[in-house]
Chains A and B, each alone.
Chain A
Amino acid sequence: MTLTVKEELIKRSPLRILEKSISGGLGKGNIGVLASRKGVGKTACLVHIAADKLLQDKPIIHVSFASRVDHIITWYEDIFKEIAKKPKMKSALDTFDELIRKRVIMNFKQDGARTEQVLRSLEAMIVHANFRAETVIVDGLDFTQAGPEDLRKFKDFAGRLGLEVWFSASLKKDDPLFDGQGIPFELIGYLGVVDVIISLKHHGDHVHFSLVKDHDRLTPKDLRLKLDPTTLLIAKDIRARAR
């Protein structure tokens, strides 16, 4: 059987490498965190993860704490434009409007939004509005304000509604950021509630990814992925393989 262009794209996505490395994916009821300093590329990665789900016709909810939503909408447009640049993908992405129908952006003001309120609104969207998302990405939650107990609430919620939830965590403390195992000092208190932690670091001219917590395992591992500096897409890191 031959694959359609879209299926081919999904199959070859570098995100399959990520999934394979974390035992087949984050999994329902689980919490994943992308951690780095500000401005390294967490939002780009989260949007790529979301775009990958959308390509597979899976609805997603994008929770953000930014002051404007139009920036986020632009992120998606840009990422789909980049994907469309791949050979033969142009026609397959004529359905951009259709893909976007499966995405809802929910924006909260950081200072006013308590975890309970965010979860209440998420539940209203998923249950009352019947928007059956399986993946929620939460960008920009302030981990210095929200504690492990907040993440616990998210995890319970994710378990109840069968969701996988990806967070971004901005590391704000002074260097060193990571302990000997590569775990961010700021996230050590969260190890009990977070299932997957991936850290992003500048490595020469590009950003690369290391897996520091994979469900029950705590052995750091190079993911052989990088963030392409021009497209801001996650890509295979060929140099890593050569190493």
Chain B
Amino acid sequence: MSTDIARMRNIGISAHIDSGKTTLTERVLFYCKKIHKIHEVKGKDGVGATMDSMDLERERGITITSATTNVEWADHSINIIDTPGHVDFTIEVERSLRVLDSAILVLCSVGGVQSQTITVDRQLRRYNVPFIAFVNKLDRVGANPFKVREQIADKLGHNAVLMQVPIGLESAFRGLIDLVTMKALYFDGPEGEDIRVEEIPAELAAEAAEKREEMLDAVSMHSEALMEAILEGRPTEDLVRAAVRRGVVARKLVPVFVGSAYRNKGIQPLLDAVVHYLPNPSEVENRAIDLDQDGADRVLTDDTSAKTVALAFKLEDGAYGQLTYIRIYQGSLRKGDELVNTRSGQKIKVGRLVRMHADAMAEIQEAGSGDIVALFGVECASGDTFCSPGLNLAMTAIYVPEPVISLAIEPVDKNAADRMAKALHRFTKEDPTFRTHVDPESNETIIQGMGELHLDVYIERMKREYRAEVKTGMPQVAYREAISQKVDFDYTHKKQTGGSGQYARVIGRLEPLAKGAYEFSNEVKGGRIPREFIPSCEKGFKAVMKKGQLIGFPVIGVRVVLTDGQDHPVDSSDIAFQTAAQGAFRQVYAMAKPQILEPVMKVSVEGPTEFAGSVFATISQRRGTIVSSVEDGTYSRVDAEVPLSEMFGYSMVLRSLTQGKAEFTMEFLKYGRVPPYIAELLAEQHLEKKKKESQK
């Protein structure tokens, strides 16, 4: 195993659902001799692809948690993270992008750039991740890698250039022409393991020459040496590769490779491309936040002898016990090392150190910067940073969106209750977008997440992995309340019931805040409210905003300005000012014209054009706004904004409407105002619920 950082790659494989990403990963493992037999996703042999280690993933044919795995190719050590394709799980995608240095973007040669490709591309851009593209499924009817390359250029705005030309397409797809070596490659043997290199077939010579010309044109922009060599008519393979690499690392060039993972064609050249063109960890600049220096930016060094900085990016509770996936950014990790979790301040000792391959693992003694490994028995949460004692750094916090949907769950019996508690504890540690709490009023356990499927998967996992059977309620949208008008308050809290009394007066105003949930501004002059009670006021406002008076959901978008007040030398206290603040808010809330807000999702529906009309109708029936519809021949996409509350069960409706030929993705977009008739309905329901509870 190479520990030379130049021979290390940390790559992700990102794609739209159903682009064949898991199949591709499976082939990669096979050719790198990590597995000895190829299993298909949803395969007949009942085993399923190796990377989908969870039963559930096998059953549904989707990848949910991103198992990381290490392979060797051409004397390089490659860590691969198989990322989930469904938008409900983008936290996993985002987390892996934070950890990886580069990626392979997999596209379907028929579907091309699809809605989720655009999402993934945006994520790659946000984390500045260089990537190469792989156009898969060349054996499919309608395959057109040339069109897909055009789409990468047009729709995603990348300088995309074909590095290979297919020999035949669809059922006639036989092999490919490498435009760097100008040789034809065929993949023989039952699993495509024997590569036969031949001269380019005569009928494709002209096309290959033309495409090579195009490739050299684009690539030579990244190397003067290559440009000169081309002018002299002698561009060498090494010069071309160096130029491509430079373009890729700078994110100015996207080389496009082609093949069919399912037919075992084109995978080995793709692995060569990973080695040739994708950056090693030392070529990527990583930054951390210095917690001792007020959050100052610190550039990390890949020096293995420097103090250690590592990020725990994923927890798993599997067959081997608690496993923490960790990426080393600086220094190295050795068995017995002492590290500090900079979030909790807790010290840990590195016990067993392993390198993971989907379901199997290999014990190792040490790992250097740039590497991804797993630790056993470390208590932490996803996103925690570990440093050598003396360093106090945090890797940039990974953006965690607020959950938009919740569900009440109830264990069927006492045993299930214990197991459920255990499962919930685990899930919330693994996934920061999955949350749970007990509602103090109804005493129900509530789980919260990013979408219907997100919660479904956890309910299923509870059942399978923890044997915790639960009953579920109706999914509940995470509404918010917000004020729409400025309003003044002047409220006195006075209580005299023998003993020491309570007295506090607060004066000020509430203002709508366009961006952000809450702001507090203290403009009290002359100590009318003693300084020590200002935080008490703020605490009071914050507490009262947790439950709005309209429908009992949190109030957001409020700026509280405290301008004046009054205290009493004896009767004023922390609690008195808190109570006054709460009273003030409750008193004027209705005058601030509060409104109910609901999560609005960005929805993309893709499918055959013949169904576009029906799709339009389903969107408008759901109070949705169609932003655009794009028709590209027989294929079309509708982008819309639809309230989440209207999207329950949409996958079923869409499936039956389009005979399963259309699919959709959605992600949280914004909070939008609920129309008045629905607001009334929600308020009524809230009143009824309160009435019932008071009767109990």
Q: Which A residues are closer than 8 A to B by beta carbons? A: 67-69, 72-73, 97, 100-101, 104-109, 112-113, 117, 120-121, 123-125, 128-131
- Complex Cα distance, B614 from A121, in Å, reads 10
Show 24 residue pairs from A and B whose CB-CB distance is below 8 angstroms, ordered by the A residue.
A67-B155, A68-B155, A69-B628, A104-B626, A104-B628, A105-B628, A105-B629, A106-B628, A106-B631, A107-B628, A107-B629, A107-B630, A108-B631, A109-B633, A112-B631, A112-B632, A112-B633, A117-B631, A123-B613, A129-B616, A129-B619, A129-B620, A130-B620, A131-B616
User: Bound state CA distance, A106 and B625, in angstroms?
Assistant: 13
- A58 CB to nearest chain B CB (Å): 16
Q: Does B609 contact A (CB under 8 A)?
A: yes
**How far is A123 from B614 in the complex, measured between Cα atoms in Å?**
12
B154 touches A (CB below 8 Å): yes
Contact B626 A121 (CB under 8 A): no
Interface string of B308-326 (1 = CB under 8 A from A): 0000000000000000000
Do the beta carbons of B630 and A69 come within 8 Å of each other?
A: yes
Instruction: Give the most central of B155, B613, B639, B672: most A CB within 10 Å.
Output: B613
Instruction: Indicate with 1 or 0, residue by residue over B592-630, a CB within 8 angstroms of chain A CB atoms.
Output: 000000000000000001001110110110000111111
Residues of B participating in the A interface, judged by any CB pair closer than 8 Å: 154-155, 609, 612-614, 616-617, 619-620, 625-633, 639, 672
* A107 vs B628: C-alpha distance when bound (angstroms): 7
B620 and A131 within 8 A (CB):
yes
CA distance A82 to B617 in the complex (A): 34
CA distance A131 to B624 in the complex (A): 11
CA distance A73 to B627 in the complex (A): 9
In the complex the two chains form, what is the Cα distance from A133 to B313 in whole Å? Answer: 50
- The 6 residue pairs across chains A and B that have the minimum distance between CB atoms: A124-B613, A129-B616, A112-B633, A105-B628, A129-B620, A107-B630
Tell me if B628 and A128 are in contact (CB < 8 A). no
Q: Which residues of A contact B620 (CB under 8 A)?
A: 129-131
CA distance A101 to B609 in the complex (A): 23
| Cβ contacts under 8 Å, A109 to chain B | 631-633
Query: CA of A120 to CA of B155 in the docked complex: distance in angstroms?
Result: 25
Dominant secondary structure of chain A at its interface with chain B:
mixed
**Shortest CB distance A45–B (Å):** 21
Q: Which residue of A lies closest to B630 (CB)?
A: A107
Asked if A125 contacts B629 (CB within 8 A), the reply is: yes
Give CA–CA (A125, B620) in the complex, Å.
9
Residues of A within 8 A of B633 (CB): 109, 112
Partner of B631, one of A73, A100, A104, A113: A113
Q: Whole-angstrom distance from the CB of A221 to the nearest CB of chain B?
A: 36
Docked pose: A112 CA to B616 CA in angstroms = 21
What CA separation (Å) do A27 and B609 show in the bound complex?
A: 31
* B594 vs chain A, min Cβ distance (A): 18
Q: Is the CB of A125 within 8 A of B616?
A: yes
Partner of B629, one of A67, A97, A121, A128: A121
Indicate if the CB atoms of B625 and A121 lie closer than 8 Å.
no
Residues of A within 8 A of B629 (CB): 104-107, 121, 125
* A238: min CB distance to chain B, Å: 37
A73 to B629, CA, bound (A): 12
Q: Are A67 and B631 in contact (CB under 8 A)?
A: no
Q: Which of B612, B614, B627, B672 contacts A104 (CB 8 A)?
A: B627
Q: Given A107-B628, A117-B609, 7 more contacts at CB 8 Å?
A: A69-B628, A104-B626, A105-B628, A112-B633, A124-B612, A128-B617, A129-B616
A105 & B632 in contact (Cβ 8 Å cutoff): no
Which residues of B are found within 8 Å of A108, using beta-carbon distances?
Answer: 630-631
A198 to chain B, nearest CB (A): 27
> A20 → chain B, closest Cβ, in Å?
33
CB distance from B238 to the nearest CB of A (A): 36
Cα of A205 to Cα of B154 in the assembled complex, Å: 32
Determine the distance from Cα of A100 to Cα of B639 in the docked complex, in whole angstroms. Answer: 14
Closest B residue to A127 by CB, please name it: B613
Residues in A whose Cβ lies below 8 Å from that of B632: 109, 112
Chain A residues, Cβ within 8 Å of B613 = 120-121, 123-125, 128-129
Whole-angstrom distance between the alpha carbons of A108 and B628 in the complex?
11
Check if B626 sits within 8 Å of A125, measured CB to CB.
Answer: yes
Residues of B within 8 A of A72 (CB): 628
Chain A residues, Cβ within 8 Å of B614: 128
Please, which residues of chain A bring their CB within 8 A of the CB of B627? 73, 104-105
Docked Cα-Cα span, A117 to B612, in Å, equals 11
Neighbouring A residues of B612 by C-beta, 8 Å = 121, 124
CA distance A128 to B613 in the complex (A): 7
Partner of A121 from the list B154, B619, B631, B639 (CB cut-off 8 Å) is B631
Of chain A, the residue at the smallest CB distance from B611 is A124
B residues within 8 A CB of A129?
A: 613, 616-617, 619-620, 626
Q: Report chain A residues within 8 Å CB of B617.
A: 124, 128-130
- Give the CA-CA distance A125 to B629 in the complex, in Å: 10
B154 neighbours in A (Cβ, 8 Å): 67-68
Most chain A Cβ neighbours within 10 Å, of B617, B629, B633: B629
- Cα A67 to Cα B157 in complex, Å, equals 11
A148 → chain B closest CB, angstroms: 24
A111, closest chain B residue (CB)? B633
**CB atoms of B626 and A131 under 8 A apart:** yes
Chain B residues with CB under 8 Å of A67's CB are: 154-155
CA distance A109 to B636 in the complex (A): 10
- Give the residue name and chain of the A residue nearest to B625 (CB): A101
Q: In the assembly, what is the distance between CA of A69 and CA of B639, in Å?
A: 11
Distance between Cα atoms of A130 and B620 in the complex (Å): 7
Q: Which residue of A lies closest to B641 (CB)?
A: A101
Distance A101 CA – B617 CA, assembled complex (angstroms): 16
Bound Cα distance from A64 to B625, whole angstroms: 18
Note all chain A residues with C-beta closer than 8 A to B631.
106-109, 112-113, 117, 121
> Cα distance A121–B609 when bound, in Å?
9
Query: Roughly how many angstroms separate A73 CA and B630 CA in the complex, as a whole number?
Result: 13
Residues from chain B with Cβ under 8 Å of A68 in the complex: 154-155
The CA-CA distance from A117 to B617 in the complex, in Å, is 17
Q: Which residues of B contact A105 (CB under 8 A)?
A: 627-629
Q: In the complex, what distance in Å separates the CA atom of A107 from the CA atom of B614?
A: 17
Q: Which residue of A lies closest to B672 (CB)?
A: A97
Nearest Cβ in chain A — how far from B341, in angstroms? 42
> What separation, in Å, do the CA atoms of A104 and B672 have in the docked complex?
19
List of A residues within 8 angstroms of B609 by Cβ: 117, 121
CB-CB < 8 A to A120: which residues of B? Answer: 613
CB distance from B576 to the nearest CB of A (A): 39
Minimum C-beta distance from B677 to chain A (A): 17
Residues of B within 8 A of A107 (CB): 628-631
Nearest residue, chain B, Cβ from A97 = B672
Q: Distance in Å from the Cβ of B146 to the closest Cβ of chain A?
A: 14
> A5–B632 Cα gap in the complex (Å)?
41
CB A97 to nearest CB in B, in angstroms, measures 8
Chain B residues near A112 (CB, 8 Å)? 631-633
Cα distance, A175 to B36, chains bound together (Å): 70
B489 to chain A, nearest CB (A): 25
Quote the shortest CB–CB distance from A26 to chain B (angstroms): 24
Q: Which residue of chain A is the closest to B618 with respect to CB atoms? A: A129
**Most-contacted residue by chain A among B617, B620, B631 (CB, 10 A):** B631
Question: What residue of chain B has the Cβ atom nearest to residue A69's Cβ?
Answer: B628
Residues on the B chain within 8 Å of A97, using CB = 672
Give the complex CA separation of A188 and B672 in angstroms: 49
A90→B533 CA distance, assembly (Å): 39
Q: In the complex, A101→B629 CA distance in Å?
A: 14
Compute how far the CA of A105 lies from the CA of B628 in the bound complex, rounded to whole angstroms. Answer: 4
A104 to B630, CA, bound (A): 11
How far is it, in angstroms, between the C-alpha of A124 and the C-alpha of B629 when the chains are bound? Answer: 12
Considering the complex, give the chain A residue whose CB is closest to the CB of B631: A108
CA gap between A105 and B616 in the complex, in Å: 12
Residues of B contacting A117 with CB < 8 Å? 609, 631
Residues in A whose Cβ lies below 8 Å from that of B616: 124-125, 128-129, 131
Contacts of A106 in B (CB 8 A): 628-631
Q: In the assembled complex, which residues on chain B have CB atoms less than 8 Å from the CB atom of A130?
A: 617, 620
A129 to B621, CA, bound (A): 8
Complex CA gap A72/B629 in Å reads 12
Q: Once bound together, how far apart are the Cα atoms of A92 and B579, in whole Å?
A: 38
